[in-house]
Structures are given as C-alpha cells and as structure tokens.
Structure 1
Amino acid sequence: MASDGASNNERLLAAARDDNEDLLLDVFDQPGTFDINYQDGLGNTALHYAVLHTSYDVLDHILSHEECDVDPTNKLDKATPLHLAVEKEDPEDREYFVENLLEAGANYTIRNKHGETAEDLVKPGDEVILALFRKAQADADANMDDIAYEDDDDVASEGSD
C-alpha cells in the first residue's frame, strides 16, 4: 500500500495495483487532487495497473471516471491497457478485461512499439476474444452509420429553413 506521505496520484496507482477499492474511493472522494490519467515513470496509468494486476474491483470505477483515457500508451512497449488485457493468461480474466475495455471505447487499432494491434496479440484459436473484437468493429461501424445519418438530417433541415 502507499505510504502515508504518498500523493493522491501515487495512492491511485497503489489502489489499482492492490485491487483496493476502499483506497480508490478515498482518492475519488477528493476531486481535483488527482489525475485519473497520471502516468508513473514507466508511463503506466491506474488503468494499466488494474489490468496488469487483475484488479476487478477497481476497474469499473476507473473506467467510469469521466476523464479516464482508455487508450494511454506506456513508455516501454507503447502498450495500451487493451494490449495488456489480451495477453492475460487466465481466459476468464482476459475475457473480462478485454470486454470491459472495448465497451468503454478502447481503440483496438492502436499499434504498440512492435507495430502490433491488440487484436494481433490474440492467442491463436481464442474465438471468445476474437468475437469481442468483431463485435467492437461492428458496433463502431454501426455508430459511424448513425453519425452519417444524423449529419444528413442536419443538412436537410438547414436547407429547409
């Protein structure tokens, strides 16, 4: 756990590493005293650590923070939390973290320092994770269609004024 003199940013990272929901909520109760996207010297954020340390309890809180960037890249591998989630050994953990990150809007097209997207790192035969990526792509395509349709409506209504 973080020492008594730790900043709220350090306490945030410690909460994510230790899956300490109480500590995280204590930090969240002090708005303006922390940066949800704070990066340590390695470029890891609380979201990176929540994934790395399989911190189920704190993940939802981090993702629900309105200023949370779901796509930060760390310094060592330029890996996003989604890259890390795909590489989790336990299939249930992998599915949980990948699904939650994708639902939160994680960008699956970001490439790490090796030029790999998170989808490129999916283990051969992992149909569950591949299905999650296909669903995210379908959702993104549907959202783009919706945006184009709304823009078309706006243009039509402007012309009728």
Structure 2
Amino acid sequence: MSIRELRVVRLPHGADLPLPAYQSDAAAGLDLLAAVPADAPVTIAPGRRALIPTGLVIALPPGTEGQVRPRSGLAARHGVTVLNTPGTIDADYRGEVQVILANFGDAPFEVARGSRIAQLVIAPVLHVDVRLSETLDETARGAGGFGSTGLHGAR
C-alpha cells in the first residue's frame, strides 16, 4: 500500500454515501459524513454529545495516523465540535470510524444523513525509543507552561 493510498470499506449503513473527499485542491482534511438513518437524524441538545457513525472502515498507511478534527463552520455557526479533538485513528484500527460530536451552542443541533461532520487529516507518526534519564537538558523556557509565555505577542 502506498503512503498516498487510503483503502476504504463501506459498511451497509453507509453504502449510498460519497467517500471522504477533499473539498479543495489544497485542503488538509477529507470530509467525513454522517451515516445516520435518513428517517432518524440525531439531535444533539446543548451541552450534550453523540457518537455519530460514518459507515466506513479504513486502512491507513503504515507510519501514519488519522486525525479526526472539527469543521470550523460547525464550530463558528453552531458551537458544534469534535469532543476529543483531534481524535486519533491508529493505522492498525479496523473498526468503524465514528465521530464524537459535542454541542456547546445554545440550540439543539440536528445531524442528518450525509451531513459533513468532521475532517480526517492523515499525518505521519514518529515512533521513538523511550529511555529513562536522571536529568534533561536545560532550556530557556524550563518548566514554564499553561500560559507562561504570556497572552500577547512581543511589543
């Protein structure tokens, strides 16, 4: 399998939906679609979440991961996002791709069949050898984190 190939199997409940696709030539993510029943859309109440099926099983190239990310339009317009963003799909996972959507908006949000619900970005993964050490090299930042570099850019 080429690193540029994503093999996909459609499950029966996603058989009529288009395959994931880039929406522009320079898009980073493939759009994932909701494979909910046409006669039973999923409504996510404010403050709630739902696991939405895509009807797809994928085989990622070795040495990559699938990152499930929110769609900016859903977040900006409706307050709907991917809860565990980015969600990671490991290259050896062979179950259905599903998306945890959370509604942080003020109104219920309806997920209809074929709705574009998330993006799938395929990214390289680096495996490392973990080694115990007594000390680490010093850096200018040190242990500073969680806002330690400030709120505003340099002035």
TM class, shorter-length: under 0.3
| Structure (1/2) with the larger strand percentage | 2
Question: Computing the radius of gyration over CA atoms, which structure comes out larger, 1 or 2?
Answer: 2
| Structure (1/2) with the larger helix percentage | 1
Length-normalised TM-score, structure 1: 0.23
Length-normalised TM-score, structure 2: 0.24
